[in-house]
Amino acid sequence: MTEMTYRQALNETLRAELKRDDNVYLIGEEIGVFEGSYKITAGLLKEFGPRRVVDTPIAEEGFTGVAIGSAMLGLRPVIEIMTINFSLIAIDQIVNHAAKMRAMFGGEVSVPIVIRTPGGGGQQLAATHSQNLEVWYAHIPGLKVVAPSNPADAKALLTAAIRDDDPVLFLENLGLYNLKGDVPEGEHVGEIGRAAVVRQGTDLTVISYSRGVVTSLEVAEQFASRGVSIEVVDLRSLRPLDRETFCASVRKTSRAVIFEDDLLSYGIGAEIAATLGEGVFDWLDAPVRRVAAAEVPLPYAKPLELAAMPDADALTKVINETLAASAFKPGSTGGVTNG
Amino acid sequence: MTDTKRPTRAKGTVKQSTESAELLREFYEQMVLIREFELRAGEMYARAKIGGYCHLNLGEEATVVGLTAALRPTDYLYTTYRDHGYALARGMDPGAVMAELFGKETGVVGGRGGSMHMFDLAKRMMGGYGIVGGQIPPATGAAFAIQYRSKAGKDSEAVMCMLGDGTTNIGAFHESLNLAGLWNLPIVYVIMNNRLGMGTSVEHASAEPDLYKRGSAYRIEGVRVNGDDPIEVRDAALAALETARVKRRPSIVEAMSYRLKGHSVVDPARYRSKEDVELAQENDPVPAFRAKMLKQKVLDEKAVDAIHAKVDAIVDKAVEFADSSPDPSVSELFERIYATPVPNMPHSYPGDPVVVLS
């Protein structure tokens, strides 16, 4: 194990995959000479040259489509879209093309691309640069969407995504890049499509992904000091969605709160809550609650931005309300089974 | 004033063909195959054997045949949704193409794509695309892959990307041209100018209606050719492909053509004037090429009849094959979508429970 930041984990994974396979190349705006808007690709142009690290003009639709076409011929491009907000300019190529080609062409061709892109607000970047649009892509059959929450998973899932023969949207978060964690050395390939129980607990399950997992773990730690045992499920993969893992967790704890960075209505949490309604109805001791972003274009002013974003306080409040709704007493065994 | 009419055949470009009689007969046969196949597809649509959208290459046969004749088997072709003729000319089996229109398991892509999505990796027919302009960035990416992997030279692979006149106004076209120009990619963009979007004319859609000039902002050269002459089309395509192979430069070929019928089989084209329809019929490339070949004695009436009989039999057989083929199995609904299986892939039909816990 080596301790490193999420940013370093991504950088080292890209380096390792560029070394491993000549078909892997990086493409995006300002990734070479400028070394990436968030410095994820620092040093790679110098090491691998302009054939493997391709700086593009500002043309998201064009270069995303170029990457898709090159993947049809067997190359394995890793696209950087500077932020997920700009992916909207490329969405026709991602949704109408990359996601559809294999099915629409009868399984005769595959499109092994990775789109790396950070989402998330909280940096005072205002409405157009602070969105969490991952659910748009998680909605689309033909795509895979992963959202690692820590440096080790970043390495494991980026490696898996690059070696996967399908188009994968790899969600990063501006607030995670400096997060430190232990990362296994050498080959470390994750499995797309599996959630993880990242903290064991018995009284309530918090389900989250990406940056939300960090907050969830902090809040769980706070509750532990009060004698409340919180389990945290990290979805890691938004498509496919590992329904079984979070349903099994809630069958154990009987209470669920979903903590998500995206907007409340029609969000990731809505899908999870609906799944829980069907999969664990008889086990629930309280209504499933969601903590998500306020439904406004995110404002610039710091107090307004903070008010709109889901945070530890909001999660703590909703956990308390959920416990209260089921007359929870610390120390009692969770999970009254009615089923 | 701009000239959006077909180019005149003046300036000494028309001469007694120096092509072999065999090649000219082959061209005629391919044009007739596309014509008869498309007419039959229209009939089958009217009989509800074919569903969805159905766009025919009627009136564009000479361009389709000329372009595909210029391609080598190692070249890649990306087309629009008006793609049946290209599939046939690229050598795909007419029965499998018709079966695809019928939505059958024996179709070129197993009935998953239909009219707009003919595809055959082995023949490097890289797809018909339904979103206008959507094929242009991926086609440019195929050229990028060629550049990534191989050196320029006479043996280089190249890409041909079809698009319609209306598509020259879309952002994807301009972004792609910029990238192809910037990166010296081996691609030929062919604009099939049939002078109409669905019903919107080139003059109403393009601030530069001389479409072959639209690459000038990217230093990409373009030529305009008579799309009714398969030889002229082929020669322009050969030259452009040579530039792609040897110089690794993109170029534009604009083929002037007339759509004989509506935008799709359900479009009666009431927006077209009587004169315009008459002009299209007068310039119909199939009888025009036949008349020329008869005049040049490349063909006689008997040979023409023999070609038509042969093509009729091929098309009859294609329809018979399609009609008697099985539907795709609904048990395979979730197959062929992902290339790499991972845990928790969705397999629920409507009404199935979303989660079944052990």
Q: How does residue B7 score in pLDDT terms, banded at 50, 70 and 90?
A: very low
CB proximity under 8 Å: B 63-122 to A: 76, 78, 107-113, 117, 119-121
Backbone angles phi, psi at B94, to 5 degrees: -60, -35
Let me know: does A79 contact A116? Beta carbons within 8 Å. Answer: yes
Q: Say how many domains are in chain A.
A: 2
Instruction: Identify whether A57 is part of a domain.
Output: yes
Please give the average per-residue pLDDT across A117-127, as a whole number: 94
**Residue A107 and residue A241 in one domain:** no
Contacts of A69 in chain B (CB under 8 A): 78, 137-145
Say if B18 is an interface residue toward chain A (CB within 8 Å): no
Residue B186's nearest CA partner among B125, B240, B120, B128 is B240
Q: How does residue A302 score in pLDDT terms, banded at 50, 70 and 90?
A: very high
In sequence order, what are the residues at sequence separation of 6 or more whose Cβ sits closer than 8 angstroms to the Cβ of residue B161? B78, B135, B136, B139, B140, B187, B188, B189, B190
Say if B178 is an interface residue toward chain A (CB within 8 Å): yes
What pLDDT does A329 receive? 85
Q: Is A30 left (phi over 0), alpha (psi -120 to 50) or beta?
A: left
Q: Report which of residues B40 and B267 the model is more confident about.
A: B40
Does residue A336 register a pLDDT over 80? Answer: no
CA atoms within 13 A on the CB side of B57: 35
Instruction: Identify whether A170 is part of a domain.
Output: yes
What pLDDT does B1 receive? 39
A144 closest CB neighbour out of B148, B178, B342: B342
Does residue A334 register a pLDDT over 50? Answer: no
Does residue A332 register a pLDDT over 70? Answer: no
DSSP three-state, residue B328: coil
- Please give, one letter per residue, the 3-state secondary structure of chain A: CEEEEHHHHHHHHHHHHHHHCCCEEEEECCCCCCCCCCCCCCCHHHHHCCCCEEECCCCHHHHHHHHHHHHHCCCEEEEECCCHHHHHHHHHHHHHHHCCHHHHCCCCCCCCCEEEEEECCCCCCCHHHCCCCHHHHHCCCCCEEECCCCHHHHHHHHHHHHHCCCCEEEEEECCCCCCEEEECCCCCCCCCCCCEEEECCCCEEEEECCHHHHHHHHHHHHHHCCCCCEEEEECCEEECCCHHHHHHHHHHHCCEEEEEEEECCCCHHHHHHHHHHHHCHHHCCCCCEEEEECCCCCCCCHHHHHHHCCCHHHHHHHHHHHHHHCCCCCCCCCCCCCC
Contacts of B179 in chain A (CB under 8 A): 56-57, 59, 62-63, 66
What pLDDT does A201 receive? 98
CATH code of A57's domain: 3.40.50.970
**Residue A177 and residue A318 in one domain:** no
Amino acid at B171: G
Q: How does residue A339 score in pLDDT terms, banded at 50, 70 and 90?
A: very low
Tell me: ipTM over 0.90.
yes
In sequence order, what are the residues at sequence separation of 6 or more whose Cβ sits closer than 8 angstroms to the Cβ of residue A174? A38, A83, A118, A119, A120, A122, A123
In sequence order, what are the residues at sequence separation of 6 or more whose Cβ sits closer than 8 angstroms to the Cβ of residue A240? A144, A192, A193, B342, B343, B344, B345, B346
Let me know: does A239 contact A145? Beta carbons within 8 Å. Answer: yes
How close does chain B come to A280, measured CA to CA in Å?
Answer: 9
Please give the average per-residue pLDDT across A301-325, as a whole number: 97
Last residue of some domain: A159, A183, A207? A183
Last residue of some domain: A120, A151, A183? A183
How close does chain A come to B140, measured CA to CA in Å?
Answer: 6
**Residue A57 and residue A138 in one domain:** yes
CATH code of A314's domain: 3.40.50.920
Instruction: Identify whether A331 is part of a domain.
Output: no
**Residue A210 and residue A320 in one domain:** yes
**Residue A54 and residue A158 in one domain:** yes
**Residue A173 and residue A229 in one domain:** no
Q: Please name the residue ranges forming H helices in B47-118.
A: 61-70, 84-89, 94-101
Which residues of A are identified as catalytic? 60, 129
pLDDT tens profile A77-94: 999 999 999 999 999 999
Instruction: Identify whether A295 is part of a domain.
Output: yes
Contacts of B113 in chain A (CB under 8 A): 104-106
Say if B172 is an interface residue toward chain A (CB within 8 Å): yes
The domain in which residue A239 lies consists of 196-325
**Residue A145 and residue A204 in one domain:** no
What pLDDT does B265 receive? 84
How close does chain B come to A135, measured CA to CA in Å?
Answer: 16
Does residue B312 register a pLDDT over 50? Answer: yes
pTM score of the predicted model: 0.95
B131 closest CB neighbour out of A96, A192, A275: A96
**Residue A38 and residue A161 in one domain:** yes
**Residue A13 and residue A65 in one domain:** yes
**Residue A160 and residue A212 in one domain:** no
**Residue A159 and residue A200 in one domain:** no
Q: How does residue B2 score in pLDDT terms, banded at 50, 70 and 90?
A: very low
Please give the average per-residue pLDDT across A265-288, as a whole number: 97
Q: Domains in chain B, start-ordered, CATH in brackets?
A: 21-204+211-332 (3.40.50.970)
DSSP three-state, residue B7: coil
Note the residue count of chain B. 358
What pLDDT does B267 receive? 86
Instruction: Identify whether A337 is part of a domain.
Output: no
How close does chain A come to B159, measured CA to CA in Å?
Answer: 11
Q: Which residues sit opposite A304 in a β-bridge? A: none
**Residue A120 and residue A209 in one domain:** no
- Residue A3's Cβ-count burial label (10 Å; 0-12, 13-18, 19+) is exposed
B342 closest CB neighbour out of A107, A193, A247: A193
pLDDT tens profile B109-153: 999 999 999 999 999 999 999 999 999 999 999 999 999 999 999
Last residue of some domain: A183, A210, A227? A183
A93 closest CB neighbour out of B76, B137, B339: B137
